[in-house]
């Protein structure tokens, strides 16, 4: 079996920044340290942060103390105000790519633009973005949903930064033809686009693809979907313990990629497990 590892697998810039901020905070600040909601979507990383004394705050108390780190996905501005009012020291680990989308929505909603967000309505990034719409935001995940919305006098269209780039492009083409007075902003993270493109490229030369990442990670699940759409079996695993070695045994070439919140040490363990079980002709990608 040959094993090909996608070169862009693992932490993206925003995730790496958030994790580094959390680790630095554990060394710098006295008192309890929290993240408001899970910092990123990877349980193994969250466990390592917990071991450093960084725990998850799910509800905002009336009074609190210590430091709260805003998750990489961002939060609604109202939630931040509540955290400040409760007395917490705030560290903002929101991904800069997400902050850009927040800013686009914020400045346009000030001028009564409706904001249409392409995304998963329950995803924390989208929940945070909706907080900037001033109650004039709409979440869609299909062209059909866009068609059902009223035609607004003024509107912008943005995307959750980790959405499927091909799908977002379909929305862009539709809106340019049918809703040409709407302003479309390209807000897919470049790291997401490259990662998704690499999976499509990988699918052309492998028999199966292993996608490593948190089971609740939206961007990881999208990589699985893209691999399947490309016609290849795809296996979503959080760790090496989840590998279906029997299913993979018939593959001559296996590709490995990972979501944006998957650390390299987990990817390495998956790789090593496959090498031990299928030691013939291992190969690592350029």
* Cα–Cα distances in angstroms (integers) from residue 284 to residues 36, 209, 226, 255, in the given order: 38, 14, 21, 9
Contacts of 260 (CB under 8 A, 6+ apart): 10, 11, 12, 14, 15, 162, 191, 192, 195, 213, 217, 219, 220
Catalytic residues: 125
């Amino acid at each position: 079996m040959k094993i090909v590892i996608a070169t862009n697998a693992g932490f993206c810039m925003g995730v790496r920044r958030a994790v580094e901020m959390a680790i630095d905070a554990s060394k710098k600040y006295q008192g309890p340290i929290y993240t408001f909601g899970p910092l990123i979507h990877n349980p193994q990383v969250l466990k390592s942060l917990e071991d450093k004394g960084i725990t998850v705050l799910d509800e905002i108390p009336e009074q609190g103390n210590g430091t709260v780190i805003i998750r990489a996905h961002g939060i609604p501005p109202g939630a931040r105000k509540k955290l400040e009012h409760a007395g917490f020291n705030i560290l903002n680990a929101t991904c800069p790519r997400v902050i850009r989308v927040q800013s686009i929505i914020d400045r346009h909603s000030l001028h009564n633009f409706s904001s249409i967000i392409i995304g998963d309505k329950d995803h924390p990034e989208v929940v945070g973005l909706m907080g900037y719409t001033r109650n004039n935001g709409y979440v869609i995940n299909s062209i059909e949903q866009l068609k059902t919305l009223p035609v607004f006098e003024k509107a912008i269209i943005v995307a959750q930064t980790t959405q499927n780039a091909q799908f977002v492009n379909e929305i862009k083409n539709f809106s340019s033809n049918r809703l040409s007075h709407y302003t479309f902003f390209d807000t897919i993270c470049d790291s997401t686009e490259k990662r998704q493109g690499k999976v499509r490229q990988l699918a052309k030369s492998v028999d199966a693809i292993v996608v490593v990442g948190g089971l609740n990670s939206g961007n990881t699940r999208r990589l699985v979907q893209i691999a399947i759409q490309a016609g290849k079996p795809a296996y979503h695993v959080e760790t090496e313990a989840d590998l279906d070695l029997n299913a993979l045994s018939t593959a001559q070439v296996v590709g490995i990629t990972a979501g944006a919140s998957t650390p390299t040490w987990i990817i390495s363990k998956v790789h090593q497990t496959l090498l031990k079980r299928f030691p013939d002709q291992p190969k690592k990608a350029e």
